[in-house]
Amino acid sequence: MVENRPLLNFLSHLLLILGVAVVVFPVYVAFIASTHGPNDFLSGVVPLWPGPHLLENYSQMLTTGLSSSGAPPLLPMMWNSLIMAVGVAVGKISISILSAFAIVYFRFPFRTLAFWMIFITLMLPVEVRIVPTFQVVASLGMLNNYGGLIVPLIASATATFLFRQFFLTVPDELMEAARVDGAGPLKFFWDILLPLSRTNIAALFIILFVLGWNQYLWPLLITTDPHLYTVVMGIKRMAAVADAEPRWNIVMAAVMLAALPPVLVIVAMQRLFVKGLTETEK
Amino acid sequence: MATIELIDLKKNYGAIPAVKGVDLSVADGEFIVLVGPSGCGKSTLLRMVAGLESVTSGRIEIGGRDVVKAEPAERDIAMVFQNYALYPHMTVRKNLEYGLRNRRVKNEEITRRVQEAAAMLEIGPMLDRKPRELSGGQRQRVAMGRALVREPAAFLFDEPLSNLDAKLRVQMRVEIRRLQRRLKTTSLYVTHDQLEAMTLADRLVVMNGGLVEQVGTPVEVYERPATVFVAGFIGSPPMNLIDLDYLRAQSAGTDLALPNGTDLVGIRPDDMVLIGPVEPSIALKATVELLEPVGGESHLHIRLAGSNQLAIVRVPGRPSFVEGSEISVFARIGDLHPYNRASGNRTD
Amino acid sequence: MQGKRTVFPNKVLPYLLLLPQLAVTIVFFLWPAAQAFWSSFQREDAFGFKTTFVWFANYTKLFADPVYLNSFRTTVIFSLAVSLLSLGIALLLAVAATRMLRSSRIYSTLIVWPYAVAPAIAGILWWFLFNPSIGIIAYVLRRFGIDWNHLVDPNDAMILVVIAATWKQISYNFLFFMAGLQSIPHSLEEAAAIDGAGPTKRFWTIIFPLLSPTTFYLMVINVVYAMFDTFGVIHATTEGGPARATEILVYKVYFDGFVGLNLGSSAAQSVILMAIVIGLTVVQFRWVERRVQY
């Protein structure tokens, strides 16, 4: 800020408060809805203050779910989401850091070709190759299992580029010193490179965890067995019946529960997350 | 403890030669300094000995063993890098231990060697700190310590002092020399700083354009530069190089006693004096262009009469000369260095 | 391509290190993409017994199909609306937040968290707010005489999905604008102030032009987001309706392939989408190159 302008400051605050209000409003309403009984909506409008049914609604969602929707209780679905999110994050980080290590620290025929093949995945999001990818997964017998949910998603050009970029900034002499000190490639990777990449790995993990948790189309295609539903896609099934039955209160409890874990991760690790986001994508 | 033999060693990067055939015998315990301008191939040569660059052709023997195909770790060498290359996430102690652990040295032995090195380099109090908590000079000591604990057959130094400020550089230079005298470990040391080279070396290897120009003790190299390049490179300010024809014309009648083939004559700025000596000498007329006081002495930049030839004369103290004034300078016949311009070699 | 001055001499190890990544890439990315490409030239009969090679028939049929062209139009409107709205709001908030000395961090935290909310959930949240019978916003609108019903009215449905998709994307754009604004040297603004430029003038003549690399980058990313990542928003709420008013291309590929089982047409649509992503990626990287030369 260059000069002091009280009016401008006031307007800025006003704008920000308004912005925050718009951002928070839907979630606030959803939270309020999730604390009421099923009949509180029949008057035609959602109440604006919390009701007394918070624990009841949440525990019902977590343990028994909305039976008429064909979706299981939230707890197993959240477990599936957790496995998928961690699986996708760990998988992407592992195979990307290995590829980046190979591309930066070795010279071999087809090195550039390998780099471009990884690059191409950027241009092929799941959404544009839905049917054939489904067919491949089906023919490999990977429908309705965790492998099918996770493995096809773990190729990652962005993660590979991030690690490559980082490795290029690691001084050459570090690797040379390690070689003189008797470390082979894998020992150098494990003893030196991996510990140096800690911050990058952590930042990337946060972003990829959120990405994995929020997958929607992929679990929709791969899982027909309710035991494997993830929570984000499962909620859609509940919302679909919620219009027929006045059960919005517990559907909103489910929405809150589905959104909470990734939001908590981001708020708790804000600094790392911001670093990871702005550095991965630029 | 080992000898190092380099036999017709060559290195090409693609079609571009970086080292064009170097032969060198390093005696056991000798301190060899490779010196030359940047791009002369001295670092490449050192890195080939370390095993960090592949060898295009030729042989490298360390302790009588051909190591051209050996990994750096198998060559029994330790290296000190210009930027130290300390592992940033490890404490000083871990940095020192790393190479020993990889070689499965026994724990008690590791502890002993680390303590010894820490005492020798006075880094004991820093053993549990991370490199980023150390000053530049301390990091340099740790880098030395990491080489020391290995007790290798040879030390390789790649411009280890050039990241230090001037004062620390002098201090560490003395320390390196002292340590090497004490340990008597064969050492190869690369630098572009001729003062460092002169003070550290048992023998100097002056390199230029991928070739060795001269090998010799610092005194030999200074007193008898083998080539025009060495004459210009070693010594500060550099040797004055003057056309023989010009000298002949100016000193008609004086017998310069120079061998056949000489067409260029070198005179060190120290060997030019303002008062005619008793010994046979030549006298040159010149104009003062600039007087540069550098503390206890001054550098007198002159232009030789009737030519565009510039020269530098080193004079004690701070004499008062008016710029543009005419003076005479003298040089003893015995102090002339005769060269052949075409071959670049000394002719005597 | 860039690498290290010295490299490890191993001949086989690098291939082993690359193997997992390349295996996943080939099996789940390249092979299906090739399949899509191949089947876009084929037609399968109603029972799936016979496939015939039909050259570009699937493509010509698509571009003659008003439903597909309508989906194209819907996608363009939807993407532009989401991109422009979320960029505009995010920029406004980011500029206001960078003015704050102490409170900017708190505001950031409060604005940033929707990044972690899945598009599908964002859709359901707004679907609930606008719900014609119980939604609070629908209720307020009714008080103003607007009879909101996104189940029947195509415009209402479009506005709903645009709002939901925009709401989620503001956080991302906000973060990048913040980073961009913070990287502009403070001295430039001070110099402009000394030259007599007021805050508004400074913004348009100094800040906004210097921010243009960020804005351009975000524009591409936002279009990609709106075209592809918003599948969840649509699928969880309007399902493309009413009367295909919110049927964006990605939703149509999914619907034709999985529900309509028209594989040839779905494959051709996939190939067209691939071409669009490739085009956008090229634009983005051309720009990165240009920025590097700066």
Show the tokens assigned to A248. Answer: 């919005």
Tell me the average pLDDT across A31-57.
Answer: 75
* CATH topology (fold) of C69-122+167-291: MetI-like fold (1.10.3720)
DSSP assignment letter at B38: T
CA distance B269 to B329: 11
Which pLDDT value is given to residue A85? 94
Question: Which of A10-14, B1-5, B251-255, C189-193 has the lowest average pLDDT?
Answer: B251-255
Contacts 24+ apart (CB under 8 A), A48-52: A48/C136
CA distance B159 to B197: 11
Amino acid identity of A47? P
Digit-coded pLDDT (tens) for A109-131: 999 999 989 988 888 888 788 88
Q: For residue B63, how many other CB atoms are within 10 A of its CB? A: 16
Tell me the average pLDDT across B58-74.
Answer: 92
Query: Is A265 part of any domain?
Result: yes
Which pLDDT value is given to residue A68? 64
CA distance C45 to A15: 58
Show the tokens assigned to B153. Answer: 């057959």
Range with top average pLDDT, A189-198, A247-256, C209-218, C246-255: A189-198
Is residue B284 a contact partner of residue B329, using CB atoms and an 8 Å limit?
Answer: yes
Name the residue in chain B with its Cα closest to that of A172.
B85
Interchain contact C120–A (C-beta under 8 A): yes
Which residue, among B79, B148, B158, would best test binding to A if mutated, counting the most A CBs under 10 Å from its CB?
B79
Q: How far apart are the first and last CA of chain C?
A: 21
Query: Is A45 part of any domain?
Result: no
Question: Percentage of chain C with pLDDT > 90?
Answer: 26
Tell me the average pLDDT across C101-107.
Answer: 82
pLDDT of residue C292 exceeding 60, the answer is no
Residues 6+ apart with CB under 8 A from A77: A71, A229, A230, A231, A234
Query: Is A16 part of any domain?
Result: no
Which pLDDT value is given to residue A177? 94
CA distance A135 to B289: 87
pLDDT of residue B154 exceeding 90, the answer is yes
CA distance B306 to B285: 9
* CATH code, A88: 1.10.3720.10
Chain C residues with beta carbon closer than 8 angstroms to that of B52: 6
pLDDT of residue A169 exceeding 50, the answer is yes
pLDDT of residue B137 exceeding 60, the answer is yes
- Going from N- to C-terminal start, the domains of chain C cover 69-122+167-291
Query: Is A40 part of any domain?
Result: no
Query: Do C6 and B52 make contact, defined as CB atoms within 8 angstroms?
Result: yes
Which pLDDT value is given to residue C291? 52
Chain C residues with beta carbon closer than 8 angstroms to that of A94: 20
Residues of B with CB under 8 A from a CB of A: 50-52, 71-73, 77-79, 81-89, 98-99, 102-103, 146
Nearest to B88 among A178, A179, A196 (CB): A196
Interchain contact C196–B (C-beta under 8 A): no
- Binned at pLDDT 50, 70 and 90, residue B152 comes out as very high
Q: For residue A140, how many other CB atoms are within 10 A of its CB? A: 14
Amino acid identity of A103? I
CA distance B145 to B137: 12
The number of angstroms, rounded, from the C-alpha of B331 to the middle of its chain's C-alpha atoms is 28
The continuous run of DSSP H or E covering B299 comes out as strand B297-304
Which pLDDT value is given to residue A242? 58
**b or e along A31-64 (b: 16 or more beta carbons within 10 Å of the residue's beta carbon)?**
bbbbbbeeebbeeebbeeeebebbeebbebbbee
Residues 6+ apart with CB under 8 A from A226: A70, A71, A72
Would strands B211-216 and B203-208 be described as parallel, antiparallel, or unpaired? antiparallel
Is residue A248 a contact partner of residue A33, using CB atoms and an 8 Å limit?
Answer: yes
Query: Do A181 and B71 make contact, defined as CB atoms within 8 angstroms?
Result: no
Alpha helices in B191-243 (DSSP H): 194-200, 218-223, 228-233
Which pLDDT value is given to residue A44? 60
pLDDT of residue C294 exceeding 60, the answer is no
Which pLDDT value is given to residue A58? 81
Interchain contact C6–B (C-beta under 8 A): yes
Query: Is A147 part of any domain?
Result: yes
Digit-coded pLDDT (tens) for C227-255: 888 999 999 888 887 888 888 988 988 88
Alpha helices in chain B (DSSP H): 42-50, 92-102, 107-121, 136-148, 166-183, 194-200, 218-223, 228-233, 244-250
Question: Percentage of chain B with pLDDT > 70?
Answer: 100
**b or e along C19-46 (b: 16 or more beta carbons within 10 Å of the residue's beta carbon)?**
ebbbebbebbbbbbbebbbebbbbbbee
Which pLDDT value is given to residue B229? 95
Tell me the average pLDDT across C2-11.
Answer: 83
- Binned at pLDDT 50, 70 and 90, residue C284 comes out as confident
pLDDT of residue C93 exceeding 80, the answer is yes
Show the tokens assigned to B71. Answer: 């990994």
Query: Is A37 part of any domain?
Result: no
- Comparing CA positions, the residue from C68, C75, C67, C70 lying closest to residue C226 is C75
Strand order through the sheet with B186-191: B77-80, B154-158, B186-191, B31-35, B203-208, B211-216
pLDDT of residue A282 exceeding 50, the answer is no
Digit-coded pLDDT (tens) for A132-156: 888 889 888 888 889 889 999 998 8
Q: List the domain range (segments joined by +) for residue A66.
A: 56-281
- Binned at pLDDT 50, 70 and 90, residue B214 comes out as very high
Digit-coded pLDDT (tens) for B183-197: 999 999 999 998 899
CA distance A190 to A178: 11
Query: Is A132 part of any domain?
Result: yes
Interchain contact A62–B (C-beta under 8 A): no
CA distance B332 to B277: 7
Digit-coded pLDDT (tens) for C129-155: 888 888 888 888 888 888 888 888 888
Phi, psi for residue C51 in degrees, rounded to 5: -115, 140
Angstroms from C9 CA to nearest CA on chain B: 9
pLDDT of residue A164 exceeding 80, the answer is yes
Into how many domains does chain A fold? Answer: 1
Torsion of CA A171, A174, A179, A184, to 10 degrees: -90
Amino acid identity of C237? T
Subunits close to B (at least 3 CB pairs below 8 A) = A, C
Amino acid identity of B281? S
